[in-house]
Structures are given as C-alpha cells and as structure tokens.
C-alpha cells in the first residue's frame, strides 16, 4: 500500500534561518506516527508544508497520492486536521460547528447530520449538540476539534499538539479517542512535546530538532538504541561529594539543577551505594523516551 | 470553470449573521437613516431646493451610497479581521479543501450581500417617503448598491490584510473614508469645487457611486454610466487582487 504522506528533502527557511532542513518522512498506512521536538523545532511548519498550506524552498510532498502544492485541495479532502490553536466557531453551537465545517468538504447537510451523533459520541459530547462553545471546558473544546477533524471521514489525521494545555483527565480522554482511531485503521501523524504521550500512542517516532530528523524508530527502539536501560535520579544533601565517588558505577551522569541523573546498565550497585549515603534521596526507574529526548536534544530551555 | 467553492464561507457568515440579525440590522441602518432624516428635514428646512429638488431628496442618494460603503467596510475590516486574526476561522477553513481565494471570495461576496441589504433598507425609506421621480429608475439602485458594496468590500479586504490590529482601521476611516464622504458629494453638490479639487474628487470610488445613484433618484439616467460602473468594478477587483496577495503573505508563508 502506498504511503499516505511522504516528505523528501523538505526545506523551509524564514529570514535566512532553516526552520525545516532536509526533512524526510514516510508514513505507514494504519499506524500512528509521532513528530517529537522541543518548541521551535519546526513541527508545525512541517505539518503546514505537508498540508500544502505553504510552499517548501526545496523537497517534495506527496499527500494521499497527490503531488503538492499543485493538488493540495484534492489531497485535503481525505485529511482531518486538529490545529495547534483552537479555532472553533464561538458563534455556533457544538452541532453547528460540525455542520459548518462539513460544508467546507462539500458534504450535504443531510450527510453531516447523519454523522453528527456518532461524532459527538466519539468525542464524549453526546447530549451537548446544542451547547454554545463558550460553555465548553478546554478538554471538551479539544475533543470537539478532534470530532470536527473526522467529519469528512479522513484516511489521514494530522494533529498538532492535541493535548497541550489539558489536565490529565482530559488528556486521557483524548488518548482513548486516538487509540480508537488507530484501531479503526486510520493513519495518524501527531506532534507533541510530551514524551509519555508519544510513548503511549505512537508506533513510530521521528525526533526533530532545528528542523532536522535526529532519531527515528519505535519508542522501544529509541530507548534501546540511545540510552542505558536504568535511570537513578539522585537529589538531597551531599550530592556533590557523592557524585565524585559514584562516577565509576554509571555509564553516564548528568546534573540538572539539584538533581543528578545516573544512567546505568547495573542499577543495583548504585542503589546499594545510595542506601549507605544518609541525606541523599533517590528514584530508580526504567529509562523512558524523555531520557532519550533530553540526551539527544539537550537540556537547554527552548523558548 | 466558475467555481462555487467559496459558497460555504459565505453561508457560514450568513448563518452567524442570522443569529444576530435583529441588533445588527438596527445598528447598521438606524445610523444612516437618522442622518438622512435629521439632516434632510432639519438642514433641509433652511435650504432652497438643491439641484432642483428638496434637500432630503438630494441627500437620499448620498446616504444610500454612504451606507452601502460603510456596511461593506465594517464587514471586511472589523468583522473579517476578527475571523482572520482573533477567532482563526480562516485558518480552520484553510485546512479543508478550500484555499485562500475561496475564503476571500466568500468574504467579498458576503460583504457585498450585506451592503446590498443596507442599500435595500435605505431604498425602502426612499420609497415610503416618495423621495424619487420615477419608480422604475430607483430599481437600478439595486445593482448600483451591489457594485458599490463590491468595490468597498475589495478595498476593505486589502486593508484588512495588512492590519496589525483593530486600531489600524481608524487610519483607513480617517484617511480614506471620511475624505471620500466630504469630497464625493454625499451631503452637498460638488459643482462649486475648484477645478483641482473636482479633479481629485472625480477619482474617488464613492464619487462614482454617487454619480450613479443621484441621477437615478432625481429621475434621469446617469451620464457616463458605464464608466462609473467600470470604475467601481475595477477598484473592487484591484482591491481583491491586492487582498489575495497580501493575505497570502500574511497567513501562508
Ligand atoms: N510564518 C513564519 N514566519 C517567520 N518565522 C516562522 C514562521 N513560522 C514559524 N516560524 C519560526 O520557525 C521556527 C519553527 O516554528 P514551528 O514550526 O512553529 O515550531 P514548533 O511547532 O516545533 O514549535 C520558530 O523559530 C518560529 O518562530
Ligand atoms: Mg508548533
């Protein structure tokens, strides 16, 4: 089966700065793909290129069998988009938002009306059809935006930071929805800077920094390939003295503020040392995607 | 091929407008009507006939053009700006199979429709008060209102495209709209203007609208009718072309 979206050598500059820099991506049908990167890495710009909203300086985009930007309009018929910034129509009710949006795809009022109950059900908004947008919580708005992206029954769904700014309950509801879409065989491409989100949802992850792909693979592959399997986080009184004598036990140690991150294949010895050090506290856990991410993109703040 | 892809955008604006039609109509129409009636009767009582008709009859054409211009301008400036910049409605639409041309055409035709509505409302007053010579000629004011609305909708969209915020529109109203009202012959005949001022006035879009509207109310076919109509069309199309380029630069780069 053909790739729903293929980006080759994509490059885009703003003011002399390469925001997307020779980026390649090949989506696999029916899988969930993550675009992971710090703020300003070029995630949103990549999605805008992929949708044919802006033109690349170099490289090619093929979206659902259409070459962009020439055939962008046809290609977008089969795509659903959840934008980073909410853009629901505040003057309309929940159902009117779906009705209006469906018309942009050339769907008839009848077709949309038939789809609305299932969409509201999917979004956990059953019974809210006539609610004004102003009465919805942030999580409800985000779920409605997701439902809106499904009104044309898309093959590919593109989501730009779908859960940023939501509380944990709301995030879990969105995740449930996305899992259902994945199980229905939809292809997903989502950006996020939440590692746990990417780890939970994505089959394949591209880590993006300064517009370049710096790592790619499944969450497991990325963790196994880039980082030691165990992490011991150490903090408390006497960290500096302890740090000097422990370095032989860990493959890699990194200090961030008051916390020392010890990456190791053999955590037992480190933990034994720590048990003997009063005043120090620690947390032993398996390495996760966040550790990979911090290792390859660095710990500097990006805002 | 003629495309109607813009229609859902027009329809979206219409549906929002329908929800608030009462207050919006009142706001759009009370103002020009009060101007017309207040000035027409108040000032009119002090004046001899103007251009051979009572002042109120003279003022009617100016009010119609003025009201249509305002309606299109407000819609393409304040309302369109809130859809483009504040609510991100345009961004949402651009993620669908519609493109920027469809969005802007939808806005252009919507603003034109709204200004036609303003024109119709003023025309109703003109009919009720009998401020015309030949009824049949006043019907031609409907296409005149459409052309005038189209012209100022196109111009307004181009200003909207470069506006950083709502305050910016004040420049447009101060530097473009108000001079046009004063030089275009809304409130008084411009026949007494010195040649240089008349030459400037002759180029203004609102002047063309009034040159069409006034004779139709005074019972004659306008002179140079095609020229005035073409000028309004040209201004509107140039404005729209500029709007398309500038908005593309703003949103899609
Ligand atoms: N239209 C634009 N004009 C100028 N700079 C832009 C534009 N869009 C994005 N950028 C810049 O490109 C960089 C990447 O932005 P973006 O793709 O939004 O990153 P992300 O979504 O990963 O946070 C940022 O530095 C941003 O300021
Ligand atoms: Mg972004």
Q: What is the DSSP string of A199-257?
A: HHH-SEEEEEETTEEEEEE-HHHHHHHHS-SEEEEEEETTHHHHHHHHGGG-SEEEEET
Q: Which member of B15, B91, B253 has the closest CB to residue A54?
A: B253
Q: What is the pLDDT of residues A117-149, one digit of tens each?
A: 999 999 999 999 999 999 999 999 999 999 999
Q: Which of A38, A40, A210 to mutate to test the pocket of ligand 1 (most atoms within 8 A of CB)?
A: A40
Contact B92 A100 (CB under 8 A): no
Q: How many angstroms separate the Cα of A169 from the Cα of each of A83, A196, A202?
A: 21, 14, 20
| Alpha carbon of A193: minimum distance to chain B alpha carbons (Å) | 22
Tell me the average pLDDT across A151-163.
Answer: 97
**Could you tell me if the CB of A41 is within 6 A of ligand 1?**
yes
**Could you tell me if the CB of A39 is within 6 A of ligand 1?**
yes
Q: Whose CA is nearest to atom 17 of ligand 1?
A: A42
- Distance separating alpha carbons of residues B132 and B11, to the nearest angstrom: 34
Sign of CA dihedral B160, A99, A48, A70: negative
Q: From its phi and psi, is residue A125 left (phi > 0), alpha (psi between -120 and 50) or beta?
A: alpha
| Alpha carbon of B4: minimum distance to chain A alpha carbons (Å) | 10
Q: What is the pLDDT of residue B31?
A: 80
pTM of the model: 0.93
Bridge pairing between strands A280-286 and A230-236: antiparallel
From ligand 2's centre to the CA of A246, what distance in Å?
A: 40
Task: Enumerate the residues of chain A whose CB falls inside 8 A of the CB of residue B95.
Answer: 51, 53, 76, 79, 81, 83
**Could you tell me if the CB of A45 is within 6 A of ligand 1?**
yes
**Could you tell me if the CB of A164 is within 6 A of ligand 1?**
no
Q: Look at residue B108 and tell me if it is in a domain.
A: yes
Task: Enumerate the residues of chain A whose CB falls inside 8 A of the CB of residue B89.
Answer: 87, 89
Instruction: With a cut of 80, say whether residue A168 has pLDDT above it.
Output: yes
Q: Does B99 touch chain A (CB under 8 A)?
A: yes
Q: How many domains does chain B have?
A: 1
Q: What is the pLDDT of residues A239-257, one digit of tens each?
A: 888 887 777 778 888 888 8
- Residue B150: domain span: 7-251
Contact A104 B19 (CB under 8 A): no
Q: Does B11 touch chain A (CB under 8 A)?
A: yes
Q: Which helix (H) or strand (E) element contains residue B30?
A: helix B21-37
Q: What is the pLDDT of residue A236?
A: 84
- Distance separating alpha carbons of residues B236 and B112, to the nearest angstrom: 10
Q: Do B208 and B129 touch, CB atoms closer than 8 A?
A: no
Q: Could you tell me where in chain A the CATH 3.40.50.300 domains are found?
A: 5-223
Tell me the average pLDDT across B161-175.
Answer: 97
- Distance separating alpha carbons of residues B246 and B251, to the nearest angstrom: 9
* Closest atom, ligand 1, to C-alpha of A54: 1
Q: Whose CA is nearest to atom 3 of ligand 1?
A: A14
Which CATH code, of 3.30.420.10, 3.40.50.300, 3.30.1360.40, 3.30.1950.10, is assigned to A5-223? 3.40.50.300
User: What is the distance of C-alpha B123 from the center of its chain?
Assistant: 14
Instruction: With a cut of 80, say whether residue B37 has pLDDT above it.
Output: yes
Mutate to test the interface with A, among B16, B21, B95 (most CBs of A within 10 A): B95
Q: Which member of A87, A105, A106 has the closest CB to residue B88?
A: A87
- Distance separating alpha carbons of residues A218 and A202, to the nearest angstrom: 7
Q: Look at residue B1 and tell me if it is in a domain.
A: no
Percent of chain B with pLDDT over 90: 85
Residue in chain A lying closest to B100 (CA): A53
* Closest atom, ligand 1, to C-alpha of A41: 22
Q: Does B14 touch chain A (CB under 8 A)?
A: no
Q: Could you tell me where in chain A the CATH 3.30.70 domains are found?
A: 228-286
Q: Do A243 and A255 touch, CB atoms closer than 8 A?
A: yes
* Closest atom, ligand 1, to C-alpha of A208: 22
**Could you tell me if the CB of A44 is within 6 A of ligand 1?**
yes
Q: What is the pLDDT of residue B1?
A: 54
Instruction: Quote the mean pLDDT of chain A.
Output: 92
Q: Look at residue B2 and tell me if it is in a domain.
A: no
Q: What is the pLDDT of residue A302?
A: 66
Contact A90 B87 (CB under 8 A): yes
- Distance separating alpha carbons of residues B42 and A116, to the nearest angstrom: 57
From ligand 2's centre to the CA of B160, what distance in Å?
A: 25
Q: Look at residue B113 and tell me if it is in a domain.
A: yes
Q: How many angstroms separate the Cα of B84 from the Cα of each of A89, A157, A172, B79, B203?
A: 12, 24, 32, 9, 31
- Distance separating alpha carbons of residues A193 and A164, to the nearest angstrom: 8
Q: What is the pLDDT of residues A36-79, one digit of tens each?
A: 988 899 999 999 999 999 999 999 999 999 999 999 999 999 99
Between A and B, how many residue pairs show a Cβ–Cβ distance under 8 A? 62
Q: Look at residue B242 and tell me if it is in a domain.
A: yes
Percent of chain A with pLDDT over 70: 99
Tell me the CA end-to-end span of chain B in Å, nearest whole number. 28
- Please provide the size of chain A in residues: 303
Q: Do A227 and A295 touch, CB atoms closer than 8 A?
A: yes
Q: Has domain A228-286 been given CATH number 1.20.140?
A: no
Contact A89 B89 (CB under 8 A): yes
Q: Which member of A51, A104, A152 has the closest CB to residue B98?
A: A104
Bridge pairing between strands A187-192 and A156-160: parallel
DSSP symbol at A133: G
- Distance separating alpha carbons of residues B248 and B99, to the nearest angstrom: 10
Q: How many angstroms separate the Cα of B56 from the Cα of each of B10, B21, B52, B210?
A: 35, 28, 12, 15
Q: What is the pLDDT of residues B214-229, one digit of tens each?
A: 999 999 999 999 999 9
């Amino acid at each position: 089966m053909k790739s729903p979206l293929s980006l080759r050598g994509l490059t885009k500059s703003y003011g002399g700065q390469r925001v997307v820099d020779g980026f390649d991506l090949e989506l696999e049908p029916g899988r969930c793909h993550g675009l992971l990167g710090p703020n300003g890495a070029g995630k949103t710009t990549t999605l805008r290129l992929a949708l044919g909203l802006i033109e690349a300086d170099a490289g090619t985009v093929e979206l659902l069998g259409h070459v962009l930007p020439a055939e962008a309009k046809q290609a977008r018929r089969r795509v659903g988009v959840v934008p980073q910034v909410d853009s629901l129509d505040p003057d309309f009710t929940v159902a009117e938002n779906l009705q209006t949006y469906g018309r942009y795809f050339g769907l008839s009022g009848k077709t949309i009306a038939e789809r609305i109950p299932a969409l509201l059900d999917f979004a956990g908004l059953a019974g809210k059809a006539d609610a004004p947008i102003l009465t919805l919580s942030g999580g409800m708005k985000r779920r409605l935006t997701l439902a809106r992206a499904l009104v044309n029954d898309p093959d590919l769904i593109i989501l730009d930071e779908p859960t940023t700014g939501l509380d944990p309950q709301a995030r879990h509801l969105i995740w449930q929805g996305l899992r259902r879409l994945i199980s229905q065989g939809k292809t997903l491409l989502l950006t996020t800077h939440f590692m746990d989100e990417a780890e939970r949802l994505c089959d394949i992850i591209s880590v993006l920094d300064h517009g370049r792909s710096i790592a790619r693979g499944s969450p497991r592959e990325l963790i196994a390939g880039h980082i030691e399997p165990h992490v011991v986080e150490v903090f408390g009184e006497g960290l500096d003295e302890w740090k000097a004598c422990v370095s032989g036990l860990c493959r890699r140690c990194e200090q961030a503020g008051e916390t020392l991150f010890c990456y190791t294949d053999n955590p037992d010895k480190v933990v034994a040392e720590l048990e003997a050090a009063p005043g120090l506290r620690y947390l032993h856990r398996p390495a996760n995607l966040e550790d990979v991410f911090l290792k390859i993109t660095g710990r500097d703040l990006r805002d | 091929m003629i495309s109607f892809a813009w229609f859902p955008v027009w329809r979206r604006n219409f549906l929002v407008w329908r929800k608030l039609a009462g207050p919006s109509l009142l706001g759009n129409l009370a103002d020009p009507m009060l101007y017309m009636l207040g000035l027409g009767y108040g000032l009119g009582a002090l004046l001899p006939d103007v251009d051979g008709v009572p002042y109120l009859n003279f003022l009617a054409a100016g009010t119609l053009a003025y009201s249509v211009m305002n309606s299109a301008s407000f819609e393409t400036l304040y309302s369109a700006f809130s859809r483009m910049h504040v609510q991100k409605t345009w961004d949402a639409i651009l993620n669908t199979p519609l493109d920027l041309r469809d969005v802007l055409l939808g806005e252009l035709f919507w603003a034109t429709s709204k200004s036609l509505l303003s024109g119709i409302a003023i025309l109703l007053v003109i009919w009720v008060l009998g401020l015309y010579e030949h009824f049949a000629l006043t019907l031609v004011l409907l296409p005149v209102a459409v052309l005038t609305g189209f012209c100022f909708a196109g111009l307004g969209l181009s200003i909207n495209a470069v506006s950083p915020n709502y305050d910016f529109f004040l420049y447009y109203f101060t530097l473009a709209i108000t001079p046009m009202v004063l030089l275009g012959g809304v409130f008084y005949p411009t026949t007494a203007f010195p040649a240089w001022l008349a030459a400037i006035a002759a180029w203004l879009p609102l002047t063309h609208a009034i040159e069409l509207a006034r004779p139709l109310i005074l019972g004659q076919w306008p002179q140079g009718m095609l020229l005035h109509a073409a000028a309004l069309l040209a201004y509107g199309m140039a404005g729209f072309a500029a709007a398309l380029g500038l908005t593309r630069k703003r949103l899609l780069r």
